[in-house]
Amino acid sequence: MNKIYISKLTELSPIILEKSDKYNLAPDLIAAIIVVESSCNPYAIRVEPGFWRRYNKAYKRIIKESHPARRWLKHPDVFAASYGLMQIMYGVAVENGFRGKFPTELMDPDKNIEFGVKILSRKIKRTGSIESGVLAYNGGGNLSYPSKVFGTQEKVLSANIF
């Protein structure tokens, strides 16, 4: 495990431990997703290609006129991007209770890890296994994603951060 990742994860450990306790998930799993998704960069942003082809009608139905997220529908790349440590899509965060006025609020480590772990926990419960939940967390299209996360989780465990 890279020394920079160890240092950043150590800084984030109080938040990771709090959220892992709240949602009953292993802190090393959460840390592994943070490393894989953003290389521990709270300011990471990635526009998700193909998002609007798949979800256009659903999101326009879900997000009512009065919802703070409504204005971002006019900015497709802003709405269809993943933000922060756990690379949370703004629309997915909104579906899971995020009520921030700006998508960039998801770059706050506490908010990002809160919603990331909440979403991961729901995916694991819905699919019935950690591996399937981790795959679903990433959208399900990259079948090697769980192996990458679990390999990183082993490195996090051997670094004795938690």
| Domains of the chain with bracketed CATH | 3-158 (1.10.530.10)
**In this predicted structure, what is the pLDDT of residue 101?**
82
Q: Calculate the alpha carbon distances from 60 to 39, 56, 65, 108 in Å.
A: 32, 6, 9, 26
Query: Residue 59 belongs to what H/E stretch?
Result: helix 51-62
- Give the predicted TM-score (pTM) of the model: 0.88
Task: Say what the pLDDT of residue 80 is.
Answer: 77
DSSP helix/strand/coil, 85? coil
26 φψ region: left (φ > 0), alpha (ψ -120 to 50), beta (else): beta
What pLDDT is recorded for position 79? 72
| pLDDT score, position 141 | 82
pLDDT tens per residue across span 80-115:
789 999 999 887 888 898 988 889 999 999 999 999
- pLDDT at res. 4: 95
Residue 39 has a pLDDT of: 97
Neighbours of 92 (CB within 10 A): 18
Helix, coil or strand: residue 2? coil
Specify whether the CB–CB gap between 42 and 84 falls below 8 A.
yes
Residue ranges of the chain whose pLDDT lies below 50? none
Tokens of 88: 């949370």
Terminal Cα-to-Cα distance of the chain (whole angstroms): 14
> For residues 40 and 47, is the Cβ–Cβ distance under 8 A?
no
pLDDT of 43 reads 97
CA torsion sign for 59, 63, 68, 73 is: positive
